[in-house]
Chain A
Amino acid sequence: ETGVTQTPRHLVMGMTNKKSLKCEQHLGHNAMYWYKQSAKKPLELMFVYNFKEQTENNSVPSRFSPECPNSSHLFLHLHTLQPEDSALYLCASSQEASHIQYFGAGTRLSVL
């Protein structure tokens, strides 16, 4: 148990669906991250929030829309995804943006 909880653990959606991924951290951290993990590729940083402000958008397509209502919660809203978006989506948090990151267990997303 890393203190970072992601739901759902698995999600199957069609290309026309809208869904959201949720991440909650119980560590009192101030920075939160979304990563995409595809097979045989390094983890790809998608978004960074520091003190609820988005500080990094790593050229992510607009069909991925993050939301950080407070320092403990992070969402990733999904709409009109493509099959190549199927991957493991990992959330992480750190005390501050430059500190060690702790990961959740991820959401395994399949887009049909």
Chain B
Amino acid sequence: GQQLNQSPQSMFIQEGEDVSMNCTSSSIFNTWLWYKQDPGEGPVLLIALYKAGELTSNGRLTAQFGITRKDSFLNISASIPSDVGIYFCAGRTNFGNEKLTFGTGTRLTIIP
């Protein structure tokens, strides 16, 4: 089945630094989603991308749908303590397909 390779697996940064993470696939995806999961909670949707090349922002978060449709990127600017958590990418291969494929997650830790 499809696999999403998400990197890095973990990041240790200082407050105020910018963060970049990405997700790649061997298959083409028509939808990319980025979720964040706090400890003890379920994933919460951050950004949804529907078109190749699309760049979408949500506050300090910016995500891009790669031109090849096989990758996506998430950037966080000026990180703050509440950014700590696990970030997941998810993709859907076809419109109308109910199955989402999830990446393995990037765990973000902020060093005081």
Contacts of B95 in A (CB 8 A): 98
List the B residue with the shortest CB-CB distance to A40. Answer: B104
B residues with a Cβ closer than 8 A to A are 4, 33, 35, 40-45, 48, 88, 90, 92, 95-105
A residues with a Cβ closer than 8 A to B are 2, 4, 6, 31, 40-43, 45, 48, 50, 55-56, 90, 92, 94, 97-98, 100-106, 108
By the criterion CB–CB under 8 Å, are B98 and A103 in contact?
no
List 27 A–B pairs whose Cβ atoms lie within 8 Å, in order of A's numbering: A2-B42, A2-B44, A6-B42, A40-B104, A42-B101, A42-B102, A42-B104, A43-B88, A45-B100, A48-B98, A50-B98, A90-B42, A90-B43, A92-B42, A94-B98, A98-B95, A98-B96, A98-B97, A100-B33, A100-B48, A101-B100, A102-B45, A103-B42, A103-B43, A103-B44, A105-B42, A108-B40
Contacts of B33 in A (CB 8 A): 100
